[in-house]
Amino acid sequence: MKTVKQSLDDLSRSLRERPDEIMLEIGAGGELLVARIRVAAISLLFLLPITNLLLGGSYYESFTGALGTTGAFLLSLLWLKLSRQHRLYRWLPFVSAACDVSMVSTVLCLLSLNNASAGLNSVVVWCCYPLAIMATALRNDVRICLLTGALAIVQFSLLSLFIMNQGDAAVASLDYGVVSASNQVQRVVVLLAVSMLTAVVVYRMQLLVQLSGTDGLTGLPNRLYLNHRVPHLLQQAKTDNATLSIAIIDMDLFKRINDDLGHIVGDRALRHVVQTLREELHDEEPLIRIGGEEFLLVMRMPIGSAWERIEFLRKRLNDKPFLAEAGSVPRVLSFSAGIACSPHDASDISGLLKHADRRLRSAKQQGRNRVIARD
């Protein structure tokens, strides 16, 4: 179980580092959802100035509300269009969240021009601050949560200081009551609490996604990583006009270890294999566990270089026999592998997996403990 210090270190790391691609993909879907909700919510806000006018409210407040809602609606349509192409606009969640908060501050400023107390005591408009902060949870990025919260606190605090300095007569009205310093401090505290709570919720979500994308036995990425991250690596290679190779690695006769020595020893043997391979792999060469004793290795290199790389790993594993327990006879472990590359074999991940799997079966049929990269 993690200590408080470890949890704080992890939270600090999540603030410094860019979220992984799985979180960004989920966050992109959240950004699109926020954009749709924003359009629907702002459409409903058109009812507020109309209702205010029909019920005998101020013409200025009704006009200001309609003007602010129209501007927000036009911006929401722009954000909705951009969010459909999230890969091109990585900055969009930050800018759209900051814009949401700034729009709230703008409306409060416009209200304060006619009635200073309305700029601070308009509860309906002020409540849009917490809503904008909580909406950042759908983007799955702690940095966006804290940026939005900090921006809301700073903008509202500056507005409060400006209006409070106008004098007692300027901060009291029959409709909105008296503006007091204690009320504004309490609202700033509420914004701070909402920001921190939202950030913690997102941080917990990130931990859950990280755990769901990690194999519990070996610590390797699992199929969730394969489904979300590898297509991105493939797309990036296409953009850079580079070659990407994948290798499906399957342990030879691994079932015999489980049958002869038990599954606990089999699990230790798998960890031995993973440790041996990891010692020779670079950070940019992700090794993924996709099945019981089956792995996928992604390499940004031509198929010939990939074959040499996997062949080296095969020999390295042969040279490091597995010792089940002290005094037992060391077992030489081996694997067979099939390699495919983009764009030569296929341009999508399913096509690459199909070619690599066919070559893996060919390696098994030819006697195992070998690597095949050509049909």
* Kind and range of the H or E run holding 372: strand 371-372
CA–CA distance, 284 with 266 (Å, rounded to integer): 28
Residue-level pLDDT at 335: 96
Q: Give 347's DSSP letter.
A: S
| 216, pLDDT greater than 90 | no
Task: Give the model confidence (pLDDT) of 89-115 as tens digits.
Answer: 778 888 889 988 998 898 888 888 877
Residue-level pLDDT at 169: 45
What does the pLDDT average to over 187-210? 87
Written as one string, the DSSP assignment of 265-322 is HHHHHHHHHHHHHHTT--TTS-EEE-SSSEEEEEESS-HHHHHHHHHHHHHHHHTS-B
Neighbours of 89 (CB within 10 A): 16
- Angular region, 321: left φ>0, alpha ψ -120 to 50, beta rest: beta
CA–CA distance, 278 with 286 (Å, rounded to integer): 9
Task: Give the model confidence (pLDDT) of 167-182 as tens digits.
Answer: 554 455 555 666 777 8
Task: Give the model confidence (pLDDT) of 308-339 as tens digits.
Answer: 999 999 999 999 999 887 767 888 999 999 99
* Mean pLDDT across the chain: 84
Domains of the chain: 4-212 (no CATH), 223-372 (3.30.70.270)
Residue-level pLDDT at 13: 61
Residue-level pLDDT at 362: 95
Task: Give the model confidence (pLDDT) of 222-276 as tens digits.
Answer: 888 888 788 888 888 888 899 999 999 999 999 888 888 888 999 999 999 999 9
Task: Report percent pLDDT > 90 for the chain.
Answer: 37
Written as one string, the DSSP assignment of 105-167 is HHHHHHHHHH-TTHHHH-HHHHTHHHHHHHHGGGGT-HHHHHHHHHHHHHHHHHHHHHHHTT-
Contacts 24+ apart (CB under 8 A), 216-219: 217/267, 217/270, 217/271, 217/289, 218/270, 218/271, 218/274, 218/289, 219/274
Task: Give the model confidence (pLDDT) of 275-305 as tens digits.
Answer: 999 999 988 899 999 988 999 999 999 999 9
CA–CA distance, 164 with 39 (Å, rounded to integer): 34
- Angular region, 28: left φ>0, alpha ψ -120 to 50, beta rest: alpha
> Which of these, 339, 354, 353, 270, lies nearest to 304 by C-alpha position?
339
CA–CA distance, 272 with 288 (Å, rounded to integer): 15
Residue-level pLDDT at 171: 58
User: Where is average pLDDT lowest: 137-141, 143-147, 205-209, 352-356?
Assistant: 205-209
* Kind and range of the H or E run holding 24: helix 21-45
| 11, pLDDT greater than 70 | no
| 307, pLDDT greater than 90 | yes
Residue-level pLDDT at 3: 63
User: Where is average pLDDT lowest: 8-12, 45-49, 145-149?
Assistant: 8-12
